[in-house]
Each structure stands twice: as C-alpha cells, then as structure tokens.
Amino acid sequence: MAEEHSIQQAKGVVSAINGQIAIVEIDSENFPKLNEILTCPTDPAVILEVFYESKAATYCLILSSPDKLYRSMQLIGTESELKVPVGAPVLGRVIDLFGAVRDNGKPLPPLPRVNRVSIYSKAPSLNIVKSGYNLLQTGIKAIDFLTPIQKGGKAGFIGGAGVGKTILLTELMHNITQSRNPGLDKDKPGLSEAKQIYSIFAGVGERIREGQELVQRLKESNVLDKTVIILGQMNENAAIRFRVALAAAAQAEYFRDQLKGDVLFFIDNMFRFVQAGNEVATLLGTIPSEQAYQATLQTEISSLEDRLISTENGSITSFQNVYVPADEITDAGVNAIMSLLDTAIVLSRSVAQKGMYPPIDYSQSSSSTLTKAFLGEAHFKALTVFQQLLVNHDKLAHIVAIVGESEISPENRLLYNRAKKIINYLTQPFFTTEQQTGKKGVYVPLATTVKDIEMILSGTLDNIPADKFMNIGSLAEAKII
C-alpha cells in the first residue's frame, strides 16, 4: 500500500519564491489537485497549498515560514487539503490555522482522538436549506428596534477605524450567549432552548491585543467553554489570513451538521479577508478589477458567505465586522460584502464623537426583517412612526443648529424633542465597557424597548428633558416612569 501511495503522489521542486507565493515545477506524471497541501520529505514543517496551476508551473501559497524554502527544494503531495481540528476538544481553546493551541494551555490530543475536517466545502443544497421568521434578540435597544437580526441571517457592523465595531461584536457575543444560561432572566430570549448553542470567533487580520482581550472577556462571562477562537491576525502573512475565515466556517459547519446545534459565527474583520485575497492576487500578478481589487473578489466573498446558512440540522447566525477604509462607504470591497448581508448596521464617526453608543447611523443602516410578518403589529407601528419622526428631526436639526430650537414652531419643537428623546433612549451602557465607562451594562428585552418607545411617542413624557434618556436601560430602571 505504501508503494502504491508513493506512486500516486505528485512530486516537484521549488523554482522561485515571490513573497508568500512559491512557484513549483512538477516533475512527476501526477499533478497535485487544487488546494492540495505540498510538503518537503525532509522537513514536514514546510506547508504549501496549491492555489493556481498553469501549463508552465504550479503556484502555491506558502503557509509556513518562507525562510525554510530554497530553490530546487524537493516537494511531495500529501493528497489532502488543509484540515483543522473540530468538535468538543477545541471548545474553550484558541487555535491557529493549523490547529496548534495558542492559549498557553495543553496541546490538543493527536488523531484519531480529535476529528479533523477540510477547510473547504460546498454550500448545502437547496433542499436542506431552512429559513424562518425568528428574530434573535441581542438586548441592545438600537439593534433590536431599528435593525433586528434574523436567526440564521447575516449581520454586518460597518464602519471606519475606532468607531466601536469590535466592542459591539463582543457585546453581542456576551448578551446572546448569556441570555441562554440557566438561572438568568427568562425575558432575555436568545436562540431556541431546544438546541445547544456554540460560538465561533474568527480573528482575520486584526490586532493581536484584541484577541487577548476577547479571551479575558469570555472567561469573565463564563461563555468561553462553548466558544472556539481561531486566529490569523495582522502579524501573519496574507496566505494565512486569507484561509482563517474558511477554517472558522468549517468549524461552524461541523457544529451545525454533526452536533446539530445552533451556531453564532463572529468574524473580525471581513474587509481584512478581502484585503488578504487582494495581496495574494497582487503577488500572482493577476489583472486587477474595480478600484484595484482582485477580479475574483465577489467569488471569494460569496464562497464563504454561502456556507454560513441554516439547514434542517441547525442554524448559523453570522456577525461580521467590516472595516471601511478612510470612512468611504462606497468602497468596492465594502459594497461587495454588504450586498450579501441581511442586516447592515452602519456605525457613524460623527455620532461616536458625541458620546452616543452604539453610534449607529440610522439613515444608512438597513435590515431585511423590517416587515410586519417579522416584527409584529406593535413593533412595526412604533418603528414606522419613529422613522417618520427621524426624517423630520434630521431636517429640523440644520435649522436648530443655526437659529436655535426656540425659533421653530411649537408643533415642530414637540416632534423634534420626541425624536431626540428616542435617539437618546436608544443609547445604553455595555457590559464589555464597564471598566472603561464606570457604568454597569444593561440588557433590555425587545418587548420593553417597544413599550418604552410607544410611551415616548404618545407624548406622556413630553415634560421630561431629553438628557434624562441618555445612556439608560429601560424607562422603569431609570425611574423615569
């Protein structure tokens, strides 16, 4: 059997190295398959992945240290794609693209005690795809009321550097997972109690510090034991950053299909995934497309997004941070990601500078769930009235800034103040920023949020100053009613 295996193996030599790309000349009858791992017979630490093949040569991504490579190095095929460990042994652990532990804990057990699966798979067939009309409550008033997230949907937090995308993502991870812990308030529904919930966090090209802070927050929240963290951060080369998101998707698919659980999939940052693909395409010398992005941009994003869907076995609800370069929301890479999202939550730098968190830009944010079928009669009616007030508020804000609030008509002043109170009410302190702000985090159920906003819209609270509504939980907790 060993001899037959060796005959089938592809063999070649390194002919050139260009950054994270190795050009390999195949000198055997058998050519390696796309995405097959090549290694050196004398140095198993060398890991190359077949990325592109032409008549002249085979182009490989260098996933190990490029320093180990040299011209004429002998390579052999492994007849296998890159695989990552999955299942119970990786819960509560921080691993890298190759399954190596990065949390200073004990190494994972060797095969066969740990299952390993390929990071590549096809999207599920349409006959097993399942969708529903269930909303996933986050406990964050602004999101639950204005841009509700569908269970099994895709939500994106879109904004420039420093507007709070990572904080919002970790707050969501805390709130949704904690809301299902036994003994907590039953008015905090997360996912279905009938299924186990698992969280997958993919750190793609982000700061190393953020990974360490995330682990600490999850430990403090007692949710780390049901979470897998896989990192390929900014110190890694582009080839590794480009594959980490796919490895995390493989983790999510395993928990959905094999353990039949509900999965929360967090990725920070989708733009860095696009950026890594762009770096690889540049090294390959491919012809760029719009705004110098790779021509395969849409295919690369959709191949990942199409795997993050719900089936009969379980659901995958994904939360994706999307960095906006130079705050340019029309960037081609950002638009390509946004086109595949169900809910786009745009974060505004100008709102953040006013100290209003979460700093959501209500006019640019959108959600596919804003229908009566999803929201119900009361929520839909309150939201519709507020949206009308918000349009009027934005028009009047320019006049107020110039001549003052006292110069507008009494009727407009009343409507302007009601909208301002709701905008202030939709801010709240977060659990993940308690140490920085000194304010205790709050979780507000959606039903409470809708009732409170209905009360503000009705005019019962017109005599209370708008500042009283800033950074509170519910109106009852703030003793406004």
Q: Say what the pLDDT of residue 179 is.
A: 58
In angstroms, rounded to a whole number, what is the distance separating the alpha carbons of residues 193 and 233?
34
In 3-state terms, what secondary structure has residue 319? strand
- Which of 445, 369, 450 has its CA nearest to residue 152? 369
CATH number of the domain at 2-81, please? 2.40.10.170
In angstroms, rounded to a whole number, what is the distance separating the alpha carbons of residues 362 and 397?
15
> What average pLDDT does the chain have?
89
Sign (positive or negative) of CA dihedral 469, 474, 480, 481? positive
In angstroms, rounded to a whole number, what is the distance separating the alpha carbons of residues 284 and 274?
15
- Which of 252, 266, 262, 264 has its CA nearest to residue 313? 262
pLDDT tens string 295-354: 999 999 999 999 999 998 999 999 999 999 999 999 999 999 999 999 999 999 999 998
Q: Which of 29-38, 61-70, 86-95, 131-140 has the lowest mean pLDDT?
A: 131-140
Residue 111 binned pLDDT confidence (cut-offs 50, 70, 90) = low
CA angle 366, 368, 371 (to 5 degrees): 110
Residues 189-197: what's their mean pLDDT?
61
In angstroms, rounded to a whole number, what is the distance separating the alpha carbons of residues 11 and 20?
20
- CATH 2.40.10.170 domain locations along the chain: 2-81
In 3-state terms, what secondary structure has residue 95? strand
Contact 177, 197 (CB under 8 A): yes
Residues 247-271: what's their mean pLDDT?
94
Q: Say what the pLDDT of residue 186 is.
A: 41
Residue 194 binned pLDDT confidence (cut-offs 50, 70, 90) = low
Q: Encoding tokens for residue 37?
A: 């791992």
Q: Say what the pLDDT of residue 367 is.
A: 94
In angstroms, rounded to a whole number, what is the distance separating the alpha carbons of residues 446 and 137?
7
**Residue for token pair 């021509």:** 295
Q: Say what the pLDDT of residue 56 is.
A: 80
User: How many Cβ atoms are within 10 Å of 35's Cβ, its own excluded?
Assistant: 17
Q: Say what the pLDDT of residue 285 is.
A: 86
Sign (positive or negative) of CA dihedral 316, 319, 325, 327? positive
pLDDT at 166 over 50: yes
Q: Say what the pLDDT of residue 183 is.
A: 33
In angstroms, rounded to a whole number, what is the distance separating the alpha carbons of residues 355 and 310?
37
In 3-state terms, what secondary structure has residue 250? helix
CATH topology of domain 85-374: Rossmann fold (3.40.50)
Q: Encoding tokens for residue 38?
A: 């090549």
Query: 404: burial class by Cβ within 10 Å (0-12, 13-18, 19+)?
Result: exposed
Residue type, 374: F
Q: Say what the pLDDT of residue 193 is.
A: 53
| Spatial CB neighbours of 349, under 8 Å, sequence gap ≥ 6 | 159, 160, 162, 163, 327, 359
pLDDT at 182 over 70: no
Q: What does the chain come to in residues?
A: 481
pLDDT at 232 over 60: yes
Q: Say what the pLDDT of residue 184 is.
A: 35
In angstroms, rounded to a whole number, what is the distance separating the alpha carbons of residues 344 and 362?
10
In angstroms, rounded to a whole number, what is the distance separating the alpha carbons of residues 399 and 380?
30
In 3-state terms, what secondary structure has residue 114? coil
Residue 7 binned pLDDT confidence (cut-offs 50, 70, 90) = low
- CATH 3.40.50.300 domain locations along the chain: 85-374
Contact 109, 89 (CB under 8 A): yes
For the chain, what is the largest distance between any 2 Cα atoms, rounded to a whole number of angstroms? Answer: 90
- DSSP for 321-343 reads EEE-GGG-TT-HHHHHHHTT-SE
Q: Which of 27-41, 178-192, 379-393, 407-421 has the lowest mean pLDDT?
A: 178-192
- CATH 1.10.1140.10 domain locations along the chain: 376-469
pLDDT at 4 over 60: no
pLDDT tens string 341-371: 999 999 999 999 988 999 999 989 999 999 9
| Spatial CB neighbours of 345, under 8 Å, sequence gap ≥ 6 | 143, 147, 155, 156, 157, 158, 168, 360, 365
CATH number of the domain at 376-469, please? 1.10.1140.10
Residues identified as active-site? 165, 206-207
Q: Which of 35-49, 101-115, 249-263, 388-402 has the lowest mean pLDDT?
A: 101-115
How far from chain centre, in Å, is Cα 305?
11
343-346 and 366-367 beta bridge pairing: antiparallel
